[in-house]
Every structure is written in structure tokens, then in C-alpha cells.
Amino acid sequence: MKWSGWLLDNLGLKVFALVLALLLYAHVYTDRTIEETVYFPLLLEHLPDSLAIASTPPSAVGVKLRGTGKQLLRLRYLKPPLRLSLAAVAPGTFQRTLGAADMPLSGTTDVTVVGMVDPAEVRFDVTRRGVRQVAVLVTLLGAPARGSLVSGPTLVQPAVVRLTGPEAWVARQETLRTEPLSIAGRRDTLEVVQPLVAPPGWARVVPAAVRVRVPIDVAAEHTLSLGVELRGIRGELRADVHPASLSATWRGPAAQARAVDARANRAIVDAGRRGRGTWTLPITLEGPDVDRITPEADSVRVVLR
């Protein structure tokens, strides 16, 4: 007799019998009375608008229950919340010992509480609620593709968001940051809705995400000749500056290159009322484009006589 024939003869009936046997086994197995720890989500309700929770309460409460496997499996699947009302709380420490009457067991039969597992007591701080408008900062990661650059300031809309939470904590928050936003390898402007870094669970920010626009353009370079302007010379002295002009490189968006005017940007050297002698003095750039200008040298030689 071939094994393959024996296995395949009346295959549908055999599969049905196997499934039926497994169901019967599961029914008998889950109809036993057992003890098991079930975790219920903790839901805090009716906190007055003038108050805020200032420490992190437990997210769930573990309870050891006795009942049939079916009943406990149903509770584990549905996860009904354990509700605690905070309607009557005042600023200070909230402390509540939990008992069988607090457990969300309505709708179940013959399920009993054996004991509290973790925690047996709910404890957290309550304080006055604070509200503040805080600025949003964008965290950028990476750099644009070679030959491209960030061509202007990052725009955020809205630029400020509403933060609520414990009064003292809210008062210390000056800014909120977005989740890191990657611009690595980009060649064009990026515009996305970016979530904010979530505050602690007892605080809230509205809105929770902002629109971010990072302008990215083709990079261009432009060579400038900047005259050196000497300041801080005592009236009785004469000064010679070497070199009298500097070569510098402007690097920025290609669309702005033609508008760059070397005459609007200056290389300033301050003699600081020094006496006669030869001095090597640092250069300071002034003008509308200095953030994008790199001079070929960072100092010049000044002879005072």
C-alpha cells in the first residue's frame, strides 16, 4: 500500500476531522479554571482644565485573576481600561490604593480578583497647568548633493506652537524641535509636513506637526576683490596695509550670483589706536553677503609710522 494514497484518500474529510479535534481540544483546555495575570490599560479621566499631571503614572495595572481560560483570554484580547476619575483632585500628590472593585470586569462571569500585581497603588504628582507659545526649530541631517546647497533660511509654518503641561515645566521650555529631517543628497527644495518631537506624556503640543520648507538650489561661486578699510589710526600716524585689497570667494545659490556687488562688502581692519610698528591684524567682513564670502587670508600686515 502506498503511503501517498493512504494520506490523500478522503483528504477533505480527514482535514475536517483534524480541525474538529483541535477545536474540541481548545474548548476543553480553555474551559478549565486557571489563575493568570492580566494587564488593564490605566485611563485617567475628568482632570480639571486648570490642573496638569506632573509625573508619569503607570500605563497599565497588572491584576491576578481566577476564571476559565476563555474568560481570561477574552479580557486579554479586549483590554478594557481601568478608569480612575480625577474630578476631585487638587495640586499635590495623588495616591490611590487599587482593589477588586476598581477592576473592569463587568460583562464577565465567575472571574474573581486574586490580588494586585503591579502596581498595587497609583501615585503621581498634580500641579497647576501652564500654557505657552513656543518657537519651533528644525533639526536637519546630512547635506545636499554635491553642487547644491541650502539657499536660504528654513521656513516653518506655523513658526510657534501651543504647549500645555505642568506650569513650572512649561515655563522653562523656550523651543520645541521637529523630528530629524534628512536633506542628504537632495538637489531641489524640500517641503514636507514634519512631526514635532513628542513632549512627555503629561504634556501636550498643538499642532503636533508643522510644514517645513528647506530651499535647495544649484551652487555657484563668484570671485570678488575687496578693498581693505583701516580704522583706529591715531591722528599723528600714517599707515600702509599689505595687501591693500583681498581676493575672496562668494559661494551661494546660482540665482543670486549676479546680484552680488563687491562694493557693498568690505574688509575691515581695526588698528586699535596702536603705536608705531608693524602689526599683523585680523580682518572682519561687513556687508550684506558676508555669510557667504570666504577671503583668501584672515589677516593683513599693517605698518604704522
232-250 CB burial, b ≥16 within 10 A, e <16: ebeeeeebebeeeebebeb
pLDDT 10s digits, 42-94: 999 999 999 999 998 999 999 999 988 888 888 888 889 999 999 999 999 99
pLDDT (average), residues 139-162: 95
Say how far apart CA 223 and CA 56 lie, in whole Å: 58
223 vs 11 pLDDT, higher one: 223
Q: Please give the model's pTM, rounded to 2 decimal places.
A: 0.68
Which of 103, 127, 151 is the last residue before a domain boundary? 127
Q: Tell me, yes or no, whether 95 and 139 share the same domain.
A: no
**CATH number for the domain harbouring residue 244:** 2.170.120.30
pLDDT > 70? residue 146: yes
pLDDT > 80? residue 125: yes
Residue 35 C-alpha cell reads as 489563575
Question: What is residue 241's predicted lDDT score, i.e. its pLDDT?
Answer: 93
Q: Tell me, yes or no, whether 231 and 272 share the same domain.
A: yes
**CATH number for the domain harbouring residue 144:** 2.170.120.40
Q: Tell me, yes or no, whether 149 and 112 share the same domain.
A: no
| Total count of domains within the chain | 4
Q: Tell me, yes or no, whether 190 and 119 share the same domain.
A: no
- Residue 30 near residue 106 (C-beta atoms within 8 A): no
Say how far apart CA 98 and CA 84 lie, in whole Å: 10
For the chain, give the percent of residues with pLDDT over 70. 90
Domain that residue 88 falls in: 34-127
CA 65 to chain centre: 40
pLDDT 10s digits, 224-267: 999 899 999 998 999 999 999 999 999 999 888 888 888 899 99
Question: What is residue 295's predicted lDDT score, i.e. its pLDDT?
Answer: 92
Q: Tell me, yes or no, whether 43 and 121 share the same domain.
A: yes
Residue 178 exposed, middle or buried by CB count within 10 Å (0-12, 13-18, 19+): buried
Say how far apart CA 188 and CA 256 lie, in whole Å: 16
